[in-house]
Chains A and B, each alone.
Chain A
């Protein structure tokens, strides 16, 4: 491989990983923007999404690569059922664990979120023990599970090319980009989007103006959950391994991305995700894999030193 080829390849990898991180980071940043809560259960919600996806595949009996080099329509149910499930679950979590604590001190919902995260991880552990073929009969509940690629993994640039691009990368971009664009349009141009921005700006004032605050917050959880659901299907197809503890790590990356871009800012979350993905790839290539985490967090610290509210975060003035 020539140096140019290496750079192109690492960029493709970095961007693909970054886009998935960004999609999950949106869920963090939206919820934070509206109720100033770091929803620690978000990564584990994403994990449950991957488990549902594998269960559906098992029920449909798909454990082979779809033959044609295109997305096979049989995986369409995944892209409908999983986001719906994650959205519903996220909304229920808000209803049960966060809403009763709305007026409590800030720490209460945070601890509650950690609790929900534990519950989710354990649900994932039990789920892995379901006696189905895709869970290898459920004999080793905790073992990582193999997830089939939903699209062909042949190189699109031909067998001899040194650069590797597959339909999987196409799937990542084809699913994440439209979602991000749709979300930003929703927030900018719809009534709901306006209400969301109003609640984020000042909950009390929005309530006085007749905004149904609880419904708006519920909708935010629905949308964030749906995005995590899409991300879980894309991630599982791209990485092809799922296990019950993956939520913590993926959630950590996404949370870092959200903070780096500026927590509460939607374009910030996307920028943060892409940055982290690309920096990881570059560090793996040019420094050493073992230093990658150090590099990512060093960059985070440097950025926050000079821009405490993140790259695109709103500059909050102290109220005197």
Chain B
């Protein structure tokens, strides 16, 4: 059944690729985004796309003489319910084949980025991510041995991200747990690049600060329940369960089963769960006051200055609350437009090189620059909890 679906997907994408490509129009620059619209990440993605549109609208849809066109693409399949490797690869190929595409905004999932990055890099196409947090994508020495060079076949940095990476988030989470008086943590992950990555970072940061990790396990993100696993956790008597994963990899069910077994522990998750879908799937009463979420930035309504302006404009334009990553969608699009402005010509190599030159940019979280790896220099993270069925900001972490 799975294979059949894949064949259908492949046939569909092949059909897309066979479609005639637009001719190059000298005054049009196309920005595309590749984010998961199918599945429960859709709510979050919609607000990211809204953020991107907002940034382009504010620039009047133009940079210099160039008209900016924007197309949101989907990189998820109904089959997987989240991002799909085959579709992400097809999107990257499609972007490269279209001579008007100068910027590729994406991806939401670090695993998807791994697939698109080397392809886009070989084509010198600028990629700006509003959400990828796996450290190995940009930083040498923290991920796998061959990272990040494996993503840079051209030898140049063409990938930038506007969120702080997980080596910072995992560490900050461990410190926060320790500050809240936790002694023993049981660490779980969803066996995906992002989830396992951040769980490893949490694990690594725990030992030196005297937070004992009593278990480290990958879970099956499609299981109908985790009662057996929770029984095993109960034996170890931790006071915190950390789950490296997302709403899509069943964080809600895990929260539920932990509460249902009468296990009185704190439950901590990373920013992959920082969306309303998480509260919806776990049931608000299961998260009340005992669940902690770290996020690489500040919630939209806590932003000040330029950020507060964004929040007001967003609400005015879309008449709804932005989800956590909407601000980063906005920020990634602004960085892309700035790169096009600095380059001043429609040339992929020039635009991706220009992006690395962005310095002291007036961003939503104050002034920031891109460093030589393509990482953002701002390192503001926030700790949040759930109160009365809503996310509530607790404090700024890691400063």
Q: Which A99-118 residues have C-beta < 8 A from chain B?
A: 114, 117-118
Query: B14-54 vs A: 1/0 string, CB under 8 Å?
Result: 00000000000000000000000011101100000000000
Contacts of A139 in B (CB 8 A): 43, 276
From A9, A155, A238, contact of B231 by CB (8 A)? A9
The total of Cβ contacts below 8 Å across the A-B interface reads 117
Q: Are B253 and A114 in contact, CB atoms less than 8 angstroms apart?
A: no
Select A241's contact among B217, B232, B235, B252, beta carbons within 8 Å: B252
Interface flag for A17 (CB, 8 Å): yes
Q: Let me know if A298 is at the binding interface, CB within 8 A.
A: no
> What residues of chain A lie closer than 8 Å to B280, measured between beta carbons?
136, 140, 143-146
Q: B396 interface residue, CB < 8 Å from A?
A: no
Q: Which residues of B contact A10 (CB under 8 A)?
A: 228, 231
B78 interface residue (CB < 8 Å to A): yes
The digit string for A129-167, where 1 denotes a CB below 8 A from any CB of B, is: 000000010011111111000000101000100101010
Nearest Cβ on chain B to A180's Cβ, whole angstroms:
20
A140 to B114: give the CA distance in the assembly, Å.
27
Whether B224 contacts A17 by the Cβ 8 Å rule is yes
Interface centre among A142, A145, A249, A292, by most chain B C-beta atoms within 10 angstroms, is A142
A143 engages B277 (CB within 8 Å): yes
- The answer, yes or no, to whether B67 is at the interface (CB within 8 Å) is no
Q: Is the CB of A246 within 8 A of B224?
A: yes
Complex alpha-carbon distance, A9 and B229, angstroms: 11
Given known A-B contacts A239-B224, A243-B40, A13 and B252 have beta carbons under 8 A apart: no
Q: Is the CB of B225 within 8 A of A239?
A: yes
Max chain B Cβ within 10 angstroms of own Cβ: one of A117, A136, A239, A293: A239
Q: Which of the 9-residue segments A216-224, A278-286, A304-312 touches chain B?
A: A278-286
Q: Counting CB contacts under 8 A, is A122 at the interface?
A: yes
Interface residue A203 (Cβ < 8 Å from any Cβ of B)? no
A285 and B228 within 8 A (CB) = yes
Q: Is the CB of B81 within 8 A of A238?
A: no
Residue of A nearest to B227 (CB): A13
Does B89 make an interface contact (CB < 8 A)? no
Residues of B within 8 A of A136 (CB): 276, 280
A145 lies within 8 A of B228 (CB): no
Binds A, one of B122-130, B164-172, B255-263, B373-381: B255-263
| A245 on interface, CB distance cutoff 8 Å | yes
Min C-beta distance of A12 to chain B, whole Å: 9
A284 and B223 alpha carbons, distance in the complex (Å): 12
| Nearest opposing residue in chain A for B234, CB measure | A1
Q: How far is the CB of A297 from chain B (nearest CB, A)?
A: 13
Q: Tell me if A140 and B40 are in contact (CB < 8 A).
A: yes
Q: For residue B17, give the distance in angstroms from its CB to the closest CB of chain A.
A: 23
Count the B residues whose beta carbon is within 8 Å of the partner chain — how many? 41
Q: How far is the CA of A1 from the CA of B261 in the complex (A)?
A: 13
A98 at the interface (CB under 8 A from B): no
Q: Which residues of A contact B231 (CB under 8 A)?
A: 1, 6, 9-10, 13, 284-285
Contacts of A125 in B (CB 8 A): 78
Q: How far is the CA of A142 from the CA of B43 in the complex (A)?
A: 9
Are B276 and A142 touching (Cβ within 8 A)?
no
- Minimum CB–CB distance for B109 against chain A, Å: 15
Q: Are B262 and A289 in contact (CB under 8 A)?
A: no
A144 interface neighbour in B38, B40, B226, Cβ under 8 Å: B40
A155 to chain B, nearest CB (A): 6
Does B180 make an interface contact (CB < 8 A)?
no
**Chain A 281-303, CB within 8 Å of chain B: the 1/0 string?**
10011001110110000000000
Closest B residue to A154 by CB, please name it: B262
B220 near A241 (CB under 8 angstroms)?
A: no
Contacting pair A143 B228 (CB below 8 A): no
Chain B residue nearest to A3 (CB atoms) is B235
Within 8 A of A (CB), among B74-120: 78, 81
Residues of B within 8 A of A (CB): 1, 4-5, 38-40, 42-43, 78, 81, 191, 217-220, 222-229, 231-232, 234-235, 247, 250, 252-253, 256, 260-262, 276-277, 280-283
Shortest Cβ-Cβ A-B pairs, 10 listed? A144-B281, A284-B228, A143-B40, A143-B277, A146-B283, A290-B218, A281-B228, A140-B43, A13-B227, A142-B40
Q: List 13 A-B contacts (CB under 8 A).
A: A14-B228, A17-B225, A117-B1, A140-B280, A142-B81, A143-B247, A243-B40, A249-B222, A250-B224, A281-B227, A285-B232, A288-B218, A289-B219
